[in-house]
Amino acid sequence: MIDTLDQRVAEGEERIRLDVTDSGVGILTLCRPDKLNGWSWESSRQLGLLADRLRFDETVKVVLLRAEGRAFCAGIDVTAPGGAITGRSPAERTHRYYEGIRWAHERFAAFARLPQPVIAAVQGYCLGFGFELALMADIRVAADDAVFALPETGIGVAVDAGGDLRIARDAGAGWAKLLALTGRRIDAATAERIGLLQQVVPVGELEAAAGALAAEIAANAPLAVRSVKRAIDTFADAGLAEALDRAALAAALTLTSEDAREGYAAKAARRPPTFDGR
């Protein structure tokens, strides 16, 4: 893993960029388009740092999460440094994964629980963790070319950041199980129909539509807006913390399994995996 105590971001190593507009919109941009904005431990660290900065910035009334390039986020960047966690024994390696995932969950919670509403503007591939990140936003707007999936079970691991739980919250347990158990991809129209998106627009209109929505919310009374978000989240997320801890443990166990090793090897070799439950 990376140094979790480091509060700096080295020049040229930015995974997420923050810009604040004069109208009070904090724009978080995933800025690794050459990697399809693939996610890493370092991305999680930077998200947490920026969430802490936004939390106490009274000039920011709304947060807009967007991405550069043809994908919002295509999932985990398996080539990123620190991607694999080692241990002297299977038990130690599982423990380290569990603590690492719990640490990442704390960064995600800082983002998801921002006092300001968060709008996600999604285009292109929104897969695996990318889908989970978008689901952490309060409102989601997508281009009509967006594609969503949770492919984790197809490579032998559990969904680790709560995406399946948030789908169950927003679309129902049946849809959560269908998408997480099959890894099936859905288009923007389907995601809107089942309640995972609030608006779908043509690709060329995504920035304008998301920006207009952010401006509409930013024009309202900040204390009232933050109070409404907090009240709805308290109701909607009841039991989420306990479920996320269970997800972290399930992810740690599956990430250290023989099935996960086979799943990643098969994906790299572009062949069907052979799982045997070990």
Q: Are 150 and 158 in contact (CB under 8 A)?
A: no
DSSP string, 23-67: TSEEEEEE--GGGTT-B-HHHHHHHHHHHHHHHT-TT--EEEEEE
pLDDT digits (tens, 9 = 90+) for 179-191: 999 999 999 999 9
Per-residue confidence (pLDDT) for residue 217, from 0 to 100: 97
Q: How far is Cα 225 from Cα 261, in angstroms, rounded to an integer?
A: 46
Q: Which of 11, 42, 132, 258 is catalytic?
A: 132
pLDDT digits (tens, 9 = 90+) for 62-76: 999 999 999 999 999
Reduced to 3 states, what is the DSSP secondary structure of residue 180? helix
The answer to whether 132 is a known catalytic residue is yes
Element of type H or E holding 220: none
Residue 138 corresponds to which tokens in the numbers above? 């309060």
Q: Which of 11, 152, 207, 262 is catalytic?
A: 152
pTM, whole model, 2 decimals? 0.91
Which long-range CB contacts under 8 A does 231-235 form with residues at least 24 apart?
233/113
DSSP string, 114-138: -SS-EEEEE-BEEETHHHHHHHTSS
Q: Is the C-alpha dihedral spanning 259, 262, 267, 268 positive or negative?
A: positive
The answer to whether 152 is a known catalytic residue is yes
CA 230 distance to own-chain centroid: 20
Q: pLDDT at residue 58 above 90?
A: yes
Q: Are 105 and 44 in contact (CB under 8 A)?
A: no
Reduced to 3 states, what is the DSSP secondary structure of residue 18? strand
Which one is predicted more confidently, 118 or 160?
Answer: 118
pLDDT digits (tens, 9 = 90+) for 244-273: 999 999 999 998 899 988 888 888 889 999
Residue partners of 249: CB distance under 8 A and separation at least 6? 98
Per-residue confidence (pLDDT) for residue 55, from 0 to 100: 96
Percentage of residues of the chain with pLDDT beyond 90: 81
Per-residue confidence (pLDDT) for residue 87, from 0 to 100: 86
Partnered with residue 103 across adjacent β-strands are none
- Angle at which helix 240-255 crosses helix 258-269, to 10 degrees, equals 70
